[in-house]
Amino acid sequence: MFVVMTVGASEAEVLGVKSHILGEGMTPFDHVGPERIVIAVVGELGARKQELATRLATLAGVETVTPISRPFKLTSREFHPEDTVIRVLDAVIGDGSLTMMAGPCSVESRDQLFETADAVKAAGATVLRGGAFKPRTSPYAFQGLGVEALRYLAEARERTGLPVITEVMEPSQVDIVAEYADILQIGTRNMQNYSLLRDVGRVARPVMLKRGYGATVKEWLMAAEYIVSSGNPNVILCERGIRTFETYTRNTMDLAAVPLAHHLTHLPVIVDPSHATGKRWLVKPLALGGVAVGADGVMVEVHPTPDQALSDAEQQLDLAQFRDLMATLVPVHELVRGLHGDPVLTGPALGIGGSSGLSKH
């Protein structure tokens, strides 16, 4: 449930509500909206719910107490209707601009990273990607350069001014990756690694959470809830394809997940057509599709000589293909931005109390 404070509620009244919530063994999370403060009550309420709601409603400065119908609370639009906008260096994610995250699957050398970084920056990328710790299906495949790659990424940031994103695979790597990178990526295989989610929830870096390849949208948002409830509100969602019976593509890109996520949550949504398709020539059409359905940005793998790449050779674009992709995507994004309207109003009613069909799924 969340407590809606009156417009102009005093600091003391807000503190009073929070200490009451703490006294019940629950955790208060406040959201400062454009007009008023809303405080979510997070924790296992059980049978006390109604009684506590009635009590909170009588406190000074409280306007109403409202249930949150979704299992995800802090990430839901009900609690936080405005879009979350994330700023990292000069990049702004979720404000209606097109975020373009580009770079190699794996950082293979300083030269390979710098050549790619310079080219994607010149073409208009806003974030540089590059894998340092690689989750590989085979233990015999290239596992990434690790900390050496993190150093190259930091140098590439100095060189280009672009914020860098890289994957963190286990809790023991969180501090070192957060020291070098601007955005931490949680890969598809780790979407439900709850101790890792909690740990990235405690660092002062935005986190991009890739959807598990076997995860429902609800499970994905519950995973995001782990990060936000651990103290990190800056979460970016990334649809990177789910596993279906189709074998021509590496995964199946779930385009419906983009407007659906925008309806259910205030977090920005990025699409990754590289991992979703696994095929270079399918990256451009699916990137276009992602932008057309309202994605806040696109992540693509780019390599100076993709055929020689040490990982994901078949899906990486070369530098000219990335320039072509940008030239195509930017005008399409200009055309579609603003057409989607308010995600709260365009979907079915948010269903406070469970009246929405969406809440059943």
In this structure, are residues 272 and 238 in contact, taking their beta carbons and an 8 Å threshold?
Answer: yes
Nearest of 290, 197, 293, 192 to residue 241 by alpha carbon: 290
Q: Which residue in the set 167, 199, 239, 296 belongs to the binding site for ligand PEP (CB under 6 A)? A: 167
Write down the least CB distance from residue 243 to ligand PEP, Å.
11
104 CB-near residues (< 8 Å, 6+ apart): 112, 113, 116, 129, 130, 131, 301, 302, 303, 309, 316
18 touches, from ligand PEP, Mn ion, none (C-beta below 5 to 8 Å by class): none
CB of 275 to Mn ion, least distance (A): 6
131: contact with ligand PEP by CB under 6 A? yes
- Positions in the binding site for Mn ion (CB under 5 A): 105, 312
Minimal distance, residue 240 CB to ligand PEP, in Å = 4
* 215-242: burial string, b at 16+ Cβ within 10 Å, e else: bebebbbbbbbbbbbeebbbbbbbbbbb
Helix, strand and coil in the chain, % to nearest 5: 40, 20, 40
Q: Could you tell me if 173 and 180 are in contact, meaning their C-beta atoms sit under 8 angstroms apart? A: no
**Stretch 84-123: interaction string toward ligand PEP, x if CB under 6 A:** ---------------------x------------------
Cα distance between residue 28 and residue 18, in whole Å: 6
Single-letter amino acid, residue 56: L
| DSSP annotation of 268 | -
As measured in angstroms, the least distance from the Cβ of 16 to Mn ion is: 50
Q: How far is the CB of 106 from Mn ion (least distance, A)?
A: 7
CB 209 within 8 A of CB 238: yes
User: Interface with ligand PEP includes 275 (CB under 6 A)?
Assistant: yes
What is the per-residue binding string for ligand PEP in 183-222, x denoting contact by CB under 6 A? ----xx---------------------x------------
Cβ-based nearer residue to ligand PEP, 2 or 213: 213
Could you give phi then psi for residue 88, rounded to 5 degrees?
-140, 115
Helices and strands in the chain, H and E counts = 12, 14
Give me the residues paired with residue 2 across strands: 40, 66
316 binds, among Mn ion, ligand PEP, none (CB under 5 to 8 A by kind): none
Nearest one of 121, 249, 123, 227 to 174, comparing CA atoms: 227
Residue 303, contacted partner among Mn ion, ligand PEP, none, CB below 5-8 A by kind: none
Q: Which of residues 23-82 bind ligand PEP (CB under 6 A)?
A: none
- Residue among 83 and 167 whose Cβ is closer to ligand PEP: 167
Minimum distance of ligand PEP from residue 77's CB (angstroms): 25
Contact yes or no for 30/18 (Cβ under 8 A):
yes
User: Which residue from 300, 273, 291 is spatially nearest to 126, judged by alpha carbons?
Assistant: 300
Question: In the range 222-241, which residues lie near ligand PEP by CB under 6 A?
Answer: 240
| Residue 297 binds ligand PEP (CB under 6 A) | no
Least gap, CB of 189 to ligand PEP (angstroms): 6
- Residue 108 or 312: the one with the smaller Cβ distance to Mn ion is 312
**Identity of the residue, 39 or 287, whose beta carbon is nearer to ligand PEP in the bound complex:** 287
Q: How far is the CB of 276 from Mn ion (least distance, A)?
A: 11
The residue ranges that bind ligand PEP (CB under 6 A) are: 105, 131, 135, 167, 187-188, 210, 240, 275
